[in-house]
Each structure stands twice: as C-alpha cells, then as structure tokens.
Amino acid sequence: MSKGIKGLAVSALTPLARLRRRLLEPLGRLWNHARLRERITSALDPSVVVLGVPEIHGTGNIRLGRQLYLYPGLYLETQGAGEIRIGDEVVISRGVHLVAFERIHIGEGSMIGEYSSIRDANHRTGTDRALRWSGHESRPIAIGRQVWIGRGVTVLPGVTIGDGAVIGANAVVTRDIPAGAVAVGIPARLIKSSSTAQRTEPSS
C-alpha cells in the first residue's frame, strides 16, 4: 500500500475514532459514577464527575458535595467511626489518599494536587505488639474553603488549614496553617501570612 493510500485510510479512521470517544467517554463516566455510588453510605449528586472509580476501603462513610471533579487513582478509607466530608466544587487530583479514623473535612472549592496524602491517624509505637497490630491514634483534619494543596503534599493528624491557604508541592504539614497563608517545605513553614499579604497589596 502506498503512502498516499495509507494516509487516506488513517484520515478516514480518525473521525470514527473521535466519534467512538465522544460516545464512550460519557458512558464510562456514568459507569464510574454508579460504581462509586454503590460503595459509599451517602447519596452521590449527579453533578459529580468521576474519571476513575476510587478505591474504597473500610466503612464507606464518605459524603461528597456537588460538582466535584475526581481524577483516577484515588484511595479513600474510613475505619470505625471515621468519616470523610468533602464540600462542593472540590477537585481531587490523581493518586490522592484520604484516610480517616476520626474525621477529614475538605471545604468547598478546594483543590488537592496529585499524589497528596491526608491521613488523620498514625500507628501506635512503643507497645509490645507488632506495629501492624498496635492500633492507631487519630486526630481530625480540617481543610478550609478555597485551599490549594500542591502536588505530593502530606497532611498529618490534627492539622487545620484555614480558608484560602496555599500549601507548596511536597510539603509536610505538621501544624495548623492560618487562613490566607502560604506554606512550603518539610516541615511546612509560612513564607507569607495573611497579614503580610494584606500589607503588600498595592494601595488604590
């Protein structure tokens, strides 16, 4: 087959491939949505976009808001009385882990970067039992509204992140971050507070 004929064949297939993609993608999202709805204990709003079925472990005590955008590869786990609560219009990127033995709350409009880990519990140490069976100690995590958490961030138990805060990529958040602040590093430290941001705004 000549190059010209091959080119015509490829160009003829392209519209068919595009048509198949337009038809199959919505069906795939509907299937993902239905699978997720089956695995959690609360209702799932039709506006939630599920690009890949999250891996759900534990009780499924997960409440999701409206107009969420959920990327593939998510891991969501709730154990015991633990709960995960996510507000409206939150974006959770690929590979994010959320693990709640007590409570994780993410406020509306927040965005969680790829491969971030938010866990409200740690294994107990210093016991006579093997680490695997030593149990957990947990403290709730609260993430406010319009928070931007960068790629690869780790948020540890007991942390509160205030509204509008920004956490730089790969940071490890070990303590509370105030509203409107910017924090980076290991452990995360403030490089801009909300008061600094207000002082540096240009005057009108």
Active site residues: 123
What is the sign, positive or negative, of the torsion defined by CA atoms of 94, 188, 177, 156? positive
CB 188 within 8 A of CB 178: no
The DSSP call for residue 37 is H
Residues 84 and 138: their CA atoms lie apart, in Å, by: 14
Listed residue (203, 199, 156, 201) closest to 183, CA to CA: 156
Tally of CB atoms within 10 A around 150:
18
Length of the chain: 204
Nearest one of 122, 158, 126, 121 to 143, comparing CA atoms = 158
Residues 6+ apart with CB under 8 A from 51: 29, 32, 69, 70, 71, 72
Four-point Cα dihedral 53, 57, 63, 69, nearest 10 = -30
